[in-house]
Amino acid sequence: MHKVIYDTDPGVDDAMALLFLHRHPDIDLIGITTVFGNASIDTTTRNALFLKREWGISAPVARGASQTIDPDRQDIGWPTFIHGDDGLGNIGVPETIDLPEDGRSAHRFIIDTVRAHPGEVTLVAVGRMTNLALALREDPDIIGLVRQVVVMGGAFDVSGNVTPAAEANIHGDPEAADLVFTAPWKVVIVGLDVTMKTMMTRDFLAEMAASGRADIKLLANVSQFYIDFYKDRAGREGMAVHDSCAGVYVVAPELFATRSGGVRVVCGGIADGQTIQKAEDRHFGPSAWDGLPSQLVCTDVQPEGVLNVIRAALVDGKRL
């Protein structure tokens, strides 16, 4: 059983990953922490509460960061053209949800929960890395207490999606990501190298919804705007299930090929937010990668396997 705290900015693909984590029988979802990114912190937190209510999720929701860890960083706004004005595909989420938030900030919730379950908690982080970086800064001892950190973010051997250099979650708070990747805890990075290969078609989603489950019907409804974006802007059939890839890694790491080595994030300049790994078997002169902990970067994936694991969890609540 994997105890998971899900750090998220819902977000359409975040919603699918939330349902996956909620439904997978080997995952014990013990907390949802929100971060700004796909929308403002008010909207992403409202969306987390909405999905919690609709899907009957028991895990508490703790509100997280509303700005980058460096407060002087320029605000880059929200990608409403991808996730909709409401962050959930413009389905008309109610303005407010009558459910309480956990009273703690997200980073405090992470610290308390990790300390309550030493060595057991997996952090699945699929938004900007701000909450994790704040937790590290406030209580560095959690480094030795977390089981692993699985991140959706970055672009290593492929181009970015916000700029040619950078992927959205990392570009949204590069300093925070650099802190998270260079800390000596186990980090697995599931970036665009694999998520852009893992496309779910409209038909695949419709077939899952045809199972009759109301939770999948809501997910399919939420996802249409996002699928339209991929078709209109990128000419792709279906949507990249970015954040679900991180969830699937937790239960089925064998579906991913990985490379070990230290990871840094470019902070500032034209490549702001670029993620760069120094592979363990490469040798260079002195560099900013010297002495870093070795982290795992996903370099390849079996997309059909990932989609099957998602379908099995969503439709049957069972692993294949």
Residues carrying an active site annotation: 9, 242
Q: Of these partners, ligand BDR, Ca ion, none, which one is at the site of residue 167 (CB under 5 to 8 Å by kind)?
A: ligand BDR
Residue 126 makes contact with ligand BDR by CB under 6 A: yes
Residue 168 makes contact with ligand BDR by CB under 6 A: yes
Q: How many CA atoms lie within 13 A of 91 on its CB side?
A: 20
Residue 167 makes contact with ligand BDR by CB under 6 A: yes
Q: How far is the CB of 45 from Ca ion (least distance, A)?
A: 14
Q: Of these partners, Ca ion, ligand BDR, none, which one is at the site of residue 188 (CB under 5 to 8 Å by kind)?
A: none
Residue 161 makes contact with ligand BDR by CB under 6 A: yes
With CB under 6 A as the contact rule, which of the stretches 22-30, 110-118, 167-175, 273-281 interacts with ligand BDR? 167-175
> How would DSSP label each residue in 6-67?
EEE---HHHHHHHHHHHH-TTEEEEEEEE-SSSS-HHHHHHHHHHHHHHHT--S-EE---SS
Residues 20-49 that bind ligand BDR (CB under 6 A): 38
Residue 173: count of CB within 10 angstroms of its CB: 32
Specify the amino acid at residue 184. P
* CB-based contact 313:319 (threshold 8 Å): yes
From residue 176 to residue 215, the character string flagging contacts with ligand BDR as x (rule: CB under 6 A) and all else as - is: ----------------------------------------
47-85 as b/e, with b when 16 or more CB fall inside 10 Å? bbbbbbebbebebbbbbbbeebbeeebeeeebbeebbbe
With CB under 6 A as the contact rule, which of the stretches 9-17, 104-112, 142-150, 285-293 interacts with ligand BDR? 9-17
Residue 229 has which token pair?
């974006």
Q: Of these partners, ligand BDR, Ca ion, none, which one is at the site of residue 168 (CB under 5 to 8 Å by kind)?
A: ligand BDR
- The footprint of Ca ion (CB under 5 A) covers 9, 11, 14, 126-127, 243
H helix runs in 235-263, sequence order? 242-251
Q: Of 217, 243, 293, which is closest to residue 11 (Cα–Cα)?
A: 243
Judged by the rule CB under 6 A, the positions of this chain that interact with ligand BDR are 11, 13-14, 38, 79, 126, 152, 161, 167-169, 242-243
